[in-house]
Amino acid sequence: MVPNQEALTNYLNRELQVIQTRFSHYEINTYYELYQNIDFPLQQIFSALHYELNQIFSHLNTRIPHGYFKADDSRYLLELIRRISNYQTKLHNTEYQFNLATYYSRLFTECKKFLEVRGSEIPELFDEIEIEEFYPIFILESTIKIDRPNSIDSYKLKKSETALTLVSINTKIHITTVLLPLRKHLMIYQNVIIRALLPNLMK
């Protein structure tokens, strides 16, 4: 069952209030700019979760040489993963339905394999985590991602706008395909006419 807009907004406001009791204004807004196209209060919730994940993952990196993640830290990361999964469930089939960036989604899967509430042995082959500072890790499903070397460009489009864009692209391709041969033939005819007229012009 899809919640109405008022119920959805109230739920998100309550969640943000809980976050505000745990983190400072600066911490909550650390990654605020990465989620500018997302409505308040989800914008701040995503920014706060992004900050929280990066903090615990940075700490996990420091523990890799020791091969052990302490009990409190293990429980914290497990709970954070659970909360994010809960957000995905709650926001499913709403305008705020979202996915995790592929790399962080894979990290969740890998971490859940070894995390234990009483403390966790870090696998020997577990690589140091690359902390994402420049791109969003929470991506609305209404967002189209265009991958380029060294960058990710995201465009938030409605389904109708997406379809229109694709039609426009296909139309341009079709027009180009038709016009290029015609242009070639016109250039040939132009050269023939010039050659035919040139002797008369030289008189």
Predicted pLDDT of residue 3? 76
User: Tens digit of pLDDT for each residue in 109-153?
Assistant: 999 999 999 999 999 999 999 999 999 999 999 865 545 444 444
User: Tens digit of pLDDT for each residue in 34-45?
Assistant: 999 999 999 999
Q: Does residue 1 carry a pLDDT above 80?
A: no
Q: Does residue 186 carry a pLDDT above 90?
A: no
Predicted pLDDT of residue 89? 95
Domain ranges across the chain: 5-156, 157-203
Predicted pLDDT of residue 199? 60
pLDDT level of residue 158 (50, 70, 90 thresholds) = very low
* Integer CA distances (angstroms), 43 to 133, 155, 189, 200, in order: 16, 16, 61, 75
DSSP letters along 29-76, please? TTTGGGGTTS-TTHHHHHHHHHHHHHHHHHHHHHHGGGTEE-HHHHHH
pLDDT level of residue 7 (50, 70, 90 thresholds) = very high
- Cα–Cα distance measured from residue 202 to residue 124, given in angstroms and rounded to the nearest whole number: 86
- Cα–Cα distance measured from residue 119 to residue 71, given in angstroms and rounded to the nearest whole number: 4
Count the neighbouring beta carbons within 10 Å of the beta carbon of residue 120: 23
Predicted pLDDT of residue 168? 46
Handedness of CA 174, 179, 182, 188 (dihedral sign): negative
- Cα–Cα distance measured from residue 99 to residue 91, given in angstroms and rounded to the nearest whole number: 11
